[in-house]
């Protein structure tokens, strides 16, 4: 587990993302942090991250987590991220890797159900408990075939049946940031990003007001430049 790939993809003179450092190895049997970041990049997706061995193991989940056990969500494993990334909420400039608006959609801690996390990751069957503000209870990540590549393996993120299982779409029911309470469009607005693009990832009805706010901001900038 390394942060070399993460750092190679980013220009830290241009992006506000943390450069980070590899932390101490995680002690078996102890809780780690987890975070889900909603990311309006080229395409909207959710980044699911689990702390393990000093980094955040990371998966890009195109449709976001589902609390419905009958729904299997594709999760593409991506490069490890630094622990400091768990609190990153803001705008990655256009033209930079992953350019777009990032929101901390959920955060909390996780505990493995699998007795040996490293063995479970190698096998491709990691069971765990989430203790988040939105996601809770028992889950599993299962490696699958058909979507991955040599560098990006594909997994399925699945909710187990327990008292926290729900059939409604939690990404729609609870769209706001777990840190700041803002919608994506508001994070973009506050960070000088593309408000209209970010708003497309917010609940229905948020896009038009956000687009108007973005046009107003550009109009004000033009007037100020005259």
Whether the predicted pLDDT of 214 surpasses 70: no
Whether the predicted pLDDT of 76 surpasses 60: yes
* 132-164 pLDDT per residue, tens: 999 999 999 999 976 655 557 999 999 999 999
b vs e for 76-94, b when ≥16 Cβ sit within 10 Å of the residue's Cβ? bbbbbbbbebbebbbbbee
Q: What is the pTM of this model?
A: 0.86
CA-CA distance, 155 to 121, in Å (whole number)? 11
- Predicted pLDDT at 205: 46
Q: Is 35 helix (H, G, I), strand (E, B) or coil?
A: strand
Q: Is 47 helix (H, G, I), strand (E, B) or coil?
A: strand
- Predicted pLDDT at 59: 98
Pick 142 or 31 by higher pLDDT.
142
- Predicted pLDDT at 149: 54
Residue in 19, 6, 20, 9 with CA at minimum distance from that of residue 96: 9
Residue 121: pLDDT band by 50, 70, 90 thresholds?
very high
Task: Let me know how many helices (H) and strands (E) the chain has, helices first.
Answer: 6, 9
Section 55-61 average pLDDT? 97
Asked if residue 112 lies in contact with residue 31, where contact means CB atoms within 8 angstroms, the answer is: no
CA-CA distance, 224 to 161, in Å (whole number)? 56
Whether the predicted pLDDT of 70 surpasses 50: yes
Q: How many CB atoms lie within 10 A of CB 218?
A: 11
| High-pLDDT (> 70) share of the chain, % | 83
Domain ranges of the chain: 4-181, 183-226
| High-pLDDT (> 90) share of the chain, % | 78
Whether the predicted pLDDT of 112 surpasses 80: yes
137: region left, alpha or beta (phi > 0 left; psi from -120 to 50 alpha) = left
Section 106-122 average pLDDT? 95
Q: What is the mean pLDDT of the chain?
A: 89
Q: How many CB atoms lie within 10 A of CB 6?
A: 22
């Amino acid at each position: 587990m390394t942060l070399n790939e993460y750092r190679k993809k980013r220009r830290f003179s241009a992006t506000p993302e943390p450069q980070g450092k590899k932390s101490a190895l995680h002690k078996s049997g102890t809780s780690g942090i987890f975070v889900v970041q909603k990311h309006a990049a080229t395409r909207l997706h959710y980044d699911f991250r689990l702390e393990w061995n000093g980094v955040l193991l990371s998966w890009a989940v195109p449709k976001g987590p589902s609390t419905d056990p009958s729904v299997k969500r594709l999760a593409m494993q991506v490069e490890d991220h630094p622990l400091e990334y768990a609190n990153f909420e803001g705008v990655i400039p256009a033209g930079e890797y992953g350019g777009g608006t990032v929101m901390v959609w959920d955060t909390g801690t996780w505990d493995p159900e699998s007795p040996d996390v490293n063995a479970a990751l190698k096998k491709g069957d990691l069971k765990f408990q989430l203790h988040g503000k939105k996601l809770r209870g028992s889950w599993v990540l299962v490696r699958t075939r058909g979507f991955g590549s040599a560098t990006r393996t594909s997994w399925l993120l699945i909710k187990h049946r327990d008292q926290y299982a729900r059939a409604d779409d939690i990404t729609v029911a609870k769209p706001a940031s777990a840190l700041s309470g803002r919608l994506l469009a508001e994070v973009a607005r506050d960070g000088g990003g593309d408000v209209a693009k970010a708003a497309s990832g917010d609940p229905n009805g948020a896009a038009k007001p956000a687009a108007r706010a973005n046009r107003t901001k550009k109009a004000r900038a033009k007037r100020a430049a005259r």
